[in-house]
Structure 1
Amino acid sequence: MKPTNLAFLTTSALFSMCFSTSSFADVNYHIDINQPIHHLAQVSVSFPQSQSSELVVNLPVWRTGRYQVLPVADGVRLFNATDSKGHALPWRRTASGEWTVSLTKPTAVKVTYQLHANELGDRLRHIDESHAYLDASGVFMYSPEFRQEPISVEMSVPKGWNSFSGMDKGPKPHSFTAANYDVLVDSPIETGINQHFNFKADGREYEVVFWGEGNYDTEQILTDLRKISGQASMIWDDYPFERYVYMVHATSGASGATEHLNSTVIQLPRFQFRERDDYLRFISTASHEFIHTWNVKSYRPQGLVPYDYQSENMSELLWVAEGSTSYFQNQLLLRAGVITPKEFFDDLSLRIGLNEHNPGRDTQSIAEASLGQWSSTWGDYALNHSVNIYSEGYLTSMVLDFNIIDDSELAYSYRDVHKALYQHFKIPMGYKVQDIQNILTKLTGKDYQPWWQEFVNQPFSIEFDTLLAQAGLMTTYGDKPKSQVDTGIGLSGLHGDLVLATVAKNSPAWKAGLTAGDELVALNGLKVTAEGLSKRFNDFEPGDTVTLTVFSNDRLKELSMVLGEQPKGKLAITALKQVTDKQKAFFKAWLGIDWPFNDKGEWLSTDNKA
């Protein structure tokens, strides 16, 4: 058994008194992918003998890495339960993800059911003629009574398929073993027609599995993943795994990624790998998920330890789990030489620009956003009254990092906070707000409760130029910045659709009385189209008043709108005109690379020197 599973078995033993009253015995899973063209499979689960009068069987209502309740059990049909002699056992549905089997005497129980798997974009389960991606939270039921028992998984798959997982390989082809259900649920399986590669980095074994045709360059991806995988020492002093599996999906449209115990899955549309912007999106996602192997999978907030698969796992620290991971992802790429300093700051300037145009930052704190993640949605209300644990969590992490560097006189950074969390709060422990504040005080000698109140527990705005000046940087729209019209209108993005999807709070459209759902018909009495709307507005100057004709709740009306003003072009980050040695030293303490500008404020080169 690999060290990963041994370590998890040791920690999970601490939970066994809470979850199991039965003797130590295997739970055996079998999945027969018998109708892949119709996304169907047959699943069976064999549980050891139970001494209880009822055996509760669950399918999780959410999956790790996505903090939202999902209709997972809707893919289950033809549920059946039998005893050790094959006799049918009575059962009843007791919750959305729960079945209760009645037992008249101690017996082993076998549960079978049909599974429909066509949720590729949710990274939950997907079966077709070319592959199956199986996240256990959407595929394999468990019983709380046997949650801590050893697991075996066997699969019947079409001829020519190859199977991979972060789990240990079993004794048969297409089989795997795990220490318990918690390992299984965090070790997805990719089986099918795929490409498979191996490499080593910093004494660890890595596998890369590609499914789907696309315009990706396997050689470049392998090279960069090798560089990323050797950069963990940027933050932590050891690894929680001996073997790691990157799974890459080139899809017909699905995109996203999910971290797991010692593996990750990354999805992009099949022809969105080659262009540099597309590739940066892919490789930064890979970095993000790799960092999660420590931050979330090795240590995580108290509310998420142990996982409760049947309900929300509440925590005000999800911004640390996700936003801080986003904050570190490009730093790791920068140190590894995968991206240039300019590319790093292009990404940061984009994040700053989005934050400055986010009305929700005046309404919601990042702690409240963490607690509300389980019920978060996207739309007009979210834009105007919410912040995001990823994007605003990134910027909160950055502000905290700058404070630590300054307060410790360049001796420590936010990386040291995460190193300490990994050293002292490994699962099955879970860290609390006070634990982070204690670490901050130990590193800097200062009380961080006031900082926490200002930047975490209440809405805040950041003076980015003041912040960046500590590292010799500033934001700019160019030497001769120009302005353009601002309306605050956001369309749905659908071709030809002039229905307003969002109206930014306190924007010209908001003040004019427009709201999401209104349909724009004419501007100054002339018909408008979705394709030509921005050009029409650019025919005017900031401060001009225009007349809009709209349908609002099917009623035609006219509104006057005074056009606002916003900078034209993209925000950029560059060097201050005069930069001191102290600012350059701060920059190095922050990012770990030398000052990347010459005396004229121009980028020195595209090479990184960590």
Structure 2
Amino acid sequence: MFLASVSMAPMAWADVLYQVNITDPEHHLAQVSVSFPMTNERQLQVNLPVWRTGKYTVLPLADGIRNFVAKDEHGQPLTWQRTASGEWQVALEQPSQVTVTYQLYANELGQRVRDISNTHAYLDASGVMMYSPSFRDQPVQVALTVPENWKSYSGMAAGIKPHTFVADNYDVLIDSPIETGISQYRNFSADGKAFELVVWGEGNFDIEQMVKDLQKVTVKSQDIWQGYPFERYLFIVHATSGARGATEHINSTVIQLPRFSFRERKDYLRFISTASHEFIHTWNVKAYRPEGLVPYDFQQENMSDLLWMAEGSTSYFQNQLLLRAGVMSAKEFLEDIAKRIERNQHTPGREQQSVAETSLGEWVATSGDYASNHSINIYSEGYLVSMALDYQLLRDSKLKASYRDVHKLLYRDYAIPKGYNAQTIKTLLQQLTKRDYSDWWSKNVESPVSYDFNEMLEHAGLALSYGKDAKTKAFIGASVSGTSLKFTSVERNGPAWTAGIAAGDELVAINGLKVTADGFEKRIEDFKVGDKVSVTLFKDDTLQTYVVTLAETPAGKLAIKPLDKAARSQKALFEAWLGIDWPFDSDGNFKKAD
């Protein structure tokens, strides 16, 4: 009987206890201890993840760990060895509870894994709290020791004492970051659910406006899904001195923006659109996700060819929620699509990489000149593929089904612990339309694709336009850093590329005249389409001159306009697509409401 009870020890229902002591916030330090229940294993494996959810990149998280110590239930030291970048093996001679302690350095706010300062701490378990695979499914308790005037918040349930939280297991813990410190707090309800907003940092934001708009947007999620995967949801906002970005979690999100980037309309739209994006992730990724990510493997890459659906489709829906909620106007919504289309037209990588391939390559994806010339990304191109699929669904179903229905069914029928794959999606598409989407999938998902956006938009009574009096200007197909005068991007097969100029070359002069730090684009505007200009530069520290024949590009800003005579069927598709009335008057102008 004793042996039987010992053999069951790793499965016993006992909590894993975490204690995080903010010991030296000025220097970004904390002391962390993790107490594991009784185990009879001869080697207890302890891990710190090598990536965090929402960012599909291996990160050096374990570099923030120092002074690792393991002890048994009597406080006696245990021998251990480090067997991987995020793995420690603790040796046990007899069954025992095990406690590990370590110093944590937390100064990585922009990565959204850990940050400790004299006014707050942001703690994402992936960069803070070790786990053992043997106890990953066990309930956890977290206790914080923080400065006296701090308050602590998390999507996790609060414990009995202040600054404590509890979760069903490590997977909930790792997806429920903690924000503790000096902050502003608001709460509100929407559609019977409890919501909280915590803002750390000072800036030009209007917290009351945030609450008002978040309350409007959150309920519009039900235009896509039925039901909520949470009872309480926490928005964490960091008004920072430079860090920007956002990360979704199962019951919360964190959004980071520079502190003075909230007041202007375009800046506020960036914030509220990001909040919408991360909130949508509560369903798309957190409630259901591709089978390559179910369950998460925290110690290695989780491969999937459907990350474009996880991220790009979320981007596709984010502004639709704002539009339906009345937080974004139809004019602003269509302006955003026009920008995305224009960016796509200047991304030569669309001719080389499919969204399926870029999904598989996300773990090693880079940015910059090479990326835009030879790659696409899961966000922007995933958005456009989602839009193309939405249009196809609307047409094939005679407006009875849309891309929203695909995600509604994924939430209903493929929620975690299930996962979905490409065949799942094609099956759902066939169920909704009675058509086989294999060819469509091959051409649009598994192959590089360049869309005829005018042909696509025409179905909704829309067209791309540079204005009635559209003009052109000279185009060199390159951009230059304003400080170093180095070429930062050279568009593949553009004029500069064809002449032999490459990213990293250092610009000196055009037609023998020095170019100033802010004068490159203005200087190109001095020439006409077809002019040949001499570009002098340093390439590998050697002074060289290249002759570039300038091409033609539209001088204005791309916009989406209504067709002169949009048919009733085209307006009907528009309304089924976006869930709003046709927003244009008889003269093709936006109605006053917009």
Quickly name the TM-score band, shorter chain normalised.
over 0.9
**Mapped contact 2:9–2:38 kept (Cα < 8 A):** no
Return 526-535 or 265-274, whichever deviates more: 526-535
Give the CA deviation at 1:410.
0.5
The one-letter amino acid paired with 1:396 is V
Give 2:4's aligned residue: none
Is the CA contact (8 Å cut-off) linking 1:335 and 1:592 kept in structure 2? yes
Measured after TM superposition, the shift of residue 496 of structure 1 is 2.3
Residue 534 (structure 1) shift: 1.1
Residue deviations 1:96-119 (CA, integer Å, cap 9, x gap): 001111111111000000000000
Of residues 529, 532, 536, the one that matches 1:549 is 536
Q: Distance in 2 between matches of 1:435 and 1:534?
A: 48
Q: Contact (CA 8 Å) 1:341, 1:606: kept in 2 or not? A: no
Counterpart residue number, 1:523:
510
CA distance in 2, matches of 1:377, 1:524: 34
Gaps of 5+ in 1: 1-18
CA drift of 1:171 comes to: 1.2
Give the corresponding residue for 1:578: 565
Equivalent in the alignment of 2:593: 606
Superposed CA deviations along residues 44-81 of structure 1, whole A, max 9, x for unmatched, are: 00001111100110000000000000000000000000
Q: Using the alignment, how far apart are the partners of 1:353 and 1:375 within structure 2?
A: 26
Distance 1:361 1:519 in 2: 27
Structure 1 position 348 matched with structure 2 position 325: no
Helix, strand or coil for the counterpart of 2:247? strand
Give the aligned partner of residue 175 of structure 1.
Answer: 164
1:208 is displaced (CA, Å) by: 0.4
1:513 and 2:500 matched: yes
CA displacement, residues 72-99 of structure 1 (integer Å, 9 cap, x when unaligned): 0000000000000000000111000011
**Cα deviation digits, residues 370-396 of structure 1 (max 9, x gap):** 000000011221110001100000000
Count of aligned pairs: 587
Q: Which residue of 2 aligns with 1:566?
A: 553
Alignment of 1:137 with 2:137, yes or no, is no
Q: SS at the partner of 1:190?
A: strand
- How far apart are the structure 2 equivalents of 1:266 and 1:210? 9
Residues 140-171 of structure 1, C-alpha deviations (whole Å, 9 max, x = no match):
00000000000000000001100000000011
Task: Find the counterpart in structure 2 of residue 315 from structure 1.
Answer: 304
TM superposition score normalised by structure 2: 0.98
Counterpart code for 2:228? Y
Deviations along 1:114-142, one digit per CA (max 9) or x if unpaired, are 00000000001000000000000000000
Check conservation: 1:20, 1:146, Cα contact below 8 A. Answer: no
Partner of 1:324: 313
For 2:490, the equivalent position in structure 1 comes to: 503
Which of 72, 78, 85 is equivalent to 1:83?
A: 72
Shift of 1:421: 0.3
- How far, CA to CA, are the matches of 1:317 and 1:454 in structure 2? 15
1:367 aligns with 2:356: yes
Aligned with 2:405 (options 407, 413, 416): 416
Distance in 2, Cα, partners of 1:92 & 1:602: 69
User: What secondary structure does 2:460 align onto?
Assistant: coil
Residue-by-residue CA offset, 1:442-491 (whole Å, 9 max, x unaligned): 00000001000000001010000000000000010000101111111122
What is the DSSP-based 3-state SS (H/G/I as helix, E as strand, rest coil) of the residue aligned with 1:230? helix
What 5-or-longer segments of structure 2 have no aligned partner? 1-7
Distance in 1, Cα, partners of 2:260 & 2:142 = 34
Partner of 1:596: 583
Amino acid paired to 1:461? S
> Counterpart in 2 of 1:10?
none
d(CA) in 1 for partners of 2:476, 2:108 = 38
Q: Which residue of 2 aligns with 1:15?
A: none
Poorly superposed stretches of 4+, deviation over 3 Å: none
Q: Which amino acid aligns with 2:80?
A: W
Work out whether residues 78 and 91 of structure 2, in 8 Å CA contact, stay in contact via their aligned partners in 1.
Answer: yes
1:3 maps to which residue? none
**Is the Cα contact below 8 Å between 2:10 and 2:38 reproduced in 1?**
no
**What's the counterpart of residue 115 of structure 1?**
104
Task: Give the match for residue 46 of structure 2.
Answer: 57
Alignment partner, residue 3 of structure 2: none
Percent identity between the aligned chains? 60
Whole-Å separation in 2 of the counterparts to 1:232 and 1:399? 21
Aligned partner of 2:183 in structure 1 is: 194
Q: CA RMSD in A?
A: 1.0
Check the 8 A contact 1:22/1:51 in 2, yes or no: no
Are the equivalent residues in 2 in contact too, given 1:69–1:311 (CA < 8 A)?
Answer: yes
Aligned partner of residue 231 in structure 1, secondary structure: helix
Relative to structure 1, is the Cα distance of residues 264 and 92 closer, same or farther in structure 2, using a 3 angstrom cutoff? Answer: same
**Structure 2 matches for 1:376-395, cutoff 5 A?**
376-395=365-384
Partner SS state of residue 247, structure 1: strand
Please name the residue that 2:219 is paired with: 230
Letter in 2 for 1:248: V
Q: 1:292 and 2:311 equivalent?
A: no
Checking the alignment, whether the CA contact within 8 Å between 1:25 and 1:48 is kept in structure 2 is yes
Paired with 2:22 and 2:262, the residues of 1 have a C-alpha distance of: 30
Q: Where do 1:27-106 residues align within 5 Å? A: 27-106=16-95
